[in-house]
């Protein structure tokens, strides 16, 4: 495939969404074709599944159902949005992807990692990001930012989890970065937005100019 898949990861309030749109704007201003997308969601059907997963309802969602819904949304998103954009040669900037499943459903919900990896491979047809920016913030910082931002509806179903859940998610993300240092770049999310944007932009330019190996399979 001709394009480049870049993902942003981190706990809530880490600043992924902010950085994803700053990267999209920077690439656009250089006339580089870019597709900004997100998970769960990123296609009309996957956005419907997002709403099913995140909206708090009376009936609790079993962890197994939650996992399968994330995977259903991902399969649809990859088939309808991500692969077509990569085939058109675009840079796909995706706010969360497969690592979120390992961090949240693995670290947070304690589902075994090999099983999650195998489901991820199946849902994506083996597509992996070329580069992942893990924006790391202490849980207190992320939760305070997310709280400041949630609307009148209050926190979504996952945002309402206890602090220990997010500590486990953060720890699993950092573990993933240790396992795959050539793909996952850890950034200090307490740095100013512009400084983070600069680091990401510079790194993407290095990949685009072929100076950094592209690990997309």
List interacting residues with ligand Z5A (CB under 6 A): 10, 12-18, 39-40, 54, 70, 95-96, 100-101, 104-105, 145-146, 149, 156, 158-159, 189, 192-193, 196
> Judged by CB, which is closer to ligand Z5A: 181, or 192?
192
Shortest Å, Cβ 189 to ligand Z5A: 6
Closer residue to ligand Z5A, CB minimum distance, 69 or 208: 69
Find the helix or strand (DSSP H, E) in which 155 lies.
none
Beta-bridge partners for 188: 136
Q: Is 178 exposed, middle or buried (0-12, 13-18, 19+ CB in 10 A)?
A: exposed
Nearest-approach distance from CB 134 to ligand Z5A, in angstroms: 11
Identity of the residue, 70 or 173, whose beta carbon is nearer to ligand Z5A in the bound complex: 70
CB 24 within 8 A of CB 95: no
- Cβ of residue 215: shortest distance to ligand Z5A, in angstroms? 20
For residue 4, what is the DSSP state? Answer: E
Rounded-to-10 torsion of CA 197, 26, 150, 155: -80
CB of 184 to ligand Z5A, least distance (A): 16
Looking up tokens 């250089």 gives 30
Closest approach, Cβ 112 to ligand Z5A, in A, equals: 15
Compare residues 90 and 136 and give the one whose CB is closer to ligand Z5A: 136
Q: Which is nearer to ligand Z5A, 18 or 212 (CB)?
A: 18
- Min dist. Cβ of residue 209 to ligand Z5A (A): 26
Q: 117 near 180, Cβ under 8 Å?
A: no
Name the CA radius of gyration of the chain, rounded: 16
Q: Are 103 and 142 in contact (CB under 8 A)?
A: no
Q: Is the CB of 155 or the CB of 208 nearer to ligand Z5A? A: 155
Task: Of 74, 16, 17, give the one whose Cα is nearest residue 41.
Answer: 74
């Amino acid at each position: 495939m001709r394009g480049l898949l870049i993902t942003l990861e981190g706990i809530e309030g880490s600043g992924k969404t902010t950085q994803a749109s700053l990267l999209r704007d920077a690439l656009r201003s250089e006339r580089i074709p870019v597709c900004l997308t997100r998970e769960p969601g990123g296609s009309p059907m996957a956005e419907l599944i997002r709403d099913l997963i995140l909206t708090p309802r009376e009936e609790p969602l079993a962890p197994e159902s939650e996992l399968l819904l994330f995977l259903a949304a991902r399969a649809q998103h990859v088939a309808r949005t991500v692969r077509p954009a990569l085939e058109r040669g675009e840079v796909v900037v995706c706010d969360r992807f497969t690592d979120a499943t390992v961090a949240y459903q693995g670290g947070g919900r304690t589902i075994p990692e090999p099983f999650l990896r195998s489901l991820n491979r199946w849902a994506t047809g083996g597509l992996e990001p070329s580069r992942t920016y893990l924006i790391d913030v202490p849980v207190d910082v992320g939760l305070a930012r997310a709280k400041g931002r949630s609307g009148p509806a209050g926190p979504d179903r996952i945002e309402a989890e206890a602090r220990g859940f997010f500590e486990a998610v953060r720890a699993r993300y950092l573990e993933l970065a240790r396992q795959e240092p050539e793909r996952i770049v850890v950034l200090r999310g307490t740095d100013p937005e512009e400084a983070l944007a600069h680091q990401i932009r510079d790194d993407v330019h290095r990949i685009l100019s072929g100076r950094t190996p592209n690990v997309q399979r």
